[in-house]
Structure 1
Amino acid sequence: MRAFKRYLIAGLLIWAPLVITAWVVTLLVTTLEEILPESLSAKALFGIDIPGFRILIVLAVLILTGLFAANFLGRSLVERWEQLLGRIPLIRSIYKSVKQVGDTVLAPNGQAFRRAVLVQFPHAGSWTVALVTGTPSAAVAQHLEGEHISVYVPTTPNPTSGYFLVVPASQTIALDMTVDTALKYIVSMGVVAPPKTLEGA
């Protein structure tokens, strides 16, 4: 029975990451392909089914859009488009919120999700790994004394949900690890241990 259990666990350790990776990739591919209508599929255009054809179209559209928006004319049209969306009540709120998050997270020189820290959560004396997202806005900072930082505390084992906290910078501990390593540590519930090197924040 012990040998059976050992072999079963060994098999799971090999197959589970492969199956989960394949599932995530399949889900991503399916989601990207569903963005475009069936009329733009390879079967509709050429009469044959080419896996991933619509993904290539999506990538091409993204690249061409980026090239177009990089020049003066493209920036002008994008600004006019954003002004138009800004006049629609419901669309305005959703679009601006999503755009602000995208600009913050994807900006090459941004500070969001660039470093990991330890914070006391959910109560004093209990520590967890958090990702720094920036500094509090002026409307929030004016009610706080001293330097504070904004952090995101991912949940285990699903890091896409979590908690947003504003904590004193002096009460955090900077971790000598990358964000990827921190996420692995969180997702694995501490099983995949990162290097034990800490430095005070």
Structure 2
Amino acid sequence: MTPTPPDPRLVAQADLLNPSFGTRLRRYFLTGLVIAAPLAITASVTWWFVNFVDGLVKPLIPAAYWPDTHLPYPIPGFGLIIGLLGLTLLGFMTANLVGRTLIDAGEAILNRMPVVRGLYKGVKQVFETIFSQSGTSFRKVGMVQFPQPGMWSIVFIAQEAAPEIAGRLPDGDEQIGVFLPCTPNPTTGFFFYLPRREVVELTISVEDGAKLIMSAGLIQPGAVAAKGLPRPPANPPAAA
């Protein structure tokens, strides 16, 4: 009498309910890796940033004021604290008339330098745009059909096209600039203008959009709600 082979589904279910020692060991290792890897990477990047700022700021301070001079061990983060205090003090000074006058005088000197003038103005405009609380650039996420119709890509919505640019575009609709980042490095990509009606705005944050791009779609936002996202047509009722 030929024995009946076991049902593969029952065997797989038994393996899930009673995993072997090797399977449990592999699960424990992967669980530990998932927990430890983000912590290690975050700690390494933070430590590198603190040391980087310390290396920039500490040489500007006399060694007599360093905590390392009076203690038998180094104190990381001293330069970072001094840098934050310095930036805060600079912002406070520019808020009053005297500080604003000094800043204007310094900018007037830079504006007389042919090469430095363009570099300073460009960098200043970028920082003012990024850190401006009243602007709307790069505070919205959307989707456009790229690289071909029917394929949707995540974009960061910038500002509307300037009159000089919008007036030379063939389409008469309102034009808007979008930045289409690349995966997994969102600092590179494509910037282009297109009609606003072709941009589908999403209600997710820019941070969630960046996570979605850097993870190549593995980290999905909790709830993605689209405004005007085209829906596939409903199936027609079957003929009687």
Q: Same fold (TM over 0.5)?
A: yes
Residue matched to 1:142: 167
- Paired position in structure 2 for 1:26: 47
In structure 2, list runs of 5 or more residues that go unmatched: 1-21, 230-240
Q: Which has the higher contact order (CA 8 A, sep 6+)?
A: 1
Structure 1 counterpart of 2:117, one-letter code: R
Query: 1:39 touches 1:45 (CA, 8 Å); kept in 2?
Result: no
Are 2:92 and 1:64 aligned?
no
Alignment match of 1:185 (pick from 195, 208, 212):
212
Task: Calculate percent identity across the aligned residue pairs.
Answer: 35
Give the 3 Å change call, closer, same or farther, for CA 33–123 of structure 1 in structure 2: farther
Note if contact 2:144-2:152 (Cα within 8 Å) is conserved in structure 1.
Answer: yes
Please report the TM-score for the alignment, with normalisation by the length of structure 1.
Answer: 0.89
Contact 1:120 1:128 in 2 (8 A): yes
Structure 2 vs 1, CA of residues 67 and 147 (structure 1 numbering), >3 Å: closer, same or farther? Answer: same
Structure exhibiting the larger radius of gyration computed from Cα positions: 2
Is 1:198 matched with 2:226?
yes
Out of 156, 159, 162, the position equivalent to 2:183 is 156
- Which amino acid in structure 1 is aligned with residue 99 of structure 2? G
Deviations 1:105-132 (A, max 9, x none): 1111011111110112233322111111
Structure 1 residue runs of 5 or longer lacking an equivalent are none
Answer whether contact 1:133 1:152 (CA < 8 A) is retained: yes
In the alignment, which of 85, 102, 114 is matched to residue 89 of structure 1? 114
Partner of 1:102: 127
1:13-66 Cα offsets, whole Å, 9 max, x none, are: 212211221122123212222222436262565455221011111001000000
Residues in 1 aligned to 2:137 and 2:69: alpha-carbon distance in whole angstroms: 42
Runs of 4+ in 1 over 4 A off after TM superposition: 1-5
- The residue aligned with 1:126 is 151
Compute the RMSD of aligned alpha carbons. Answer: 2.1
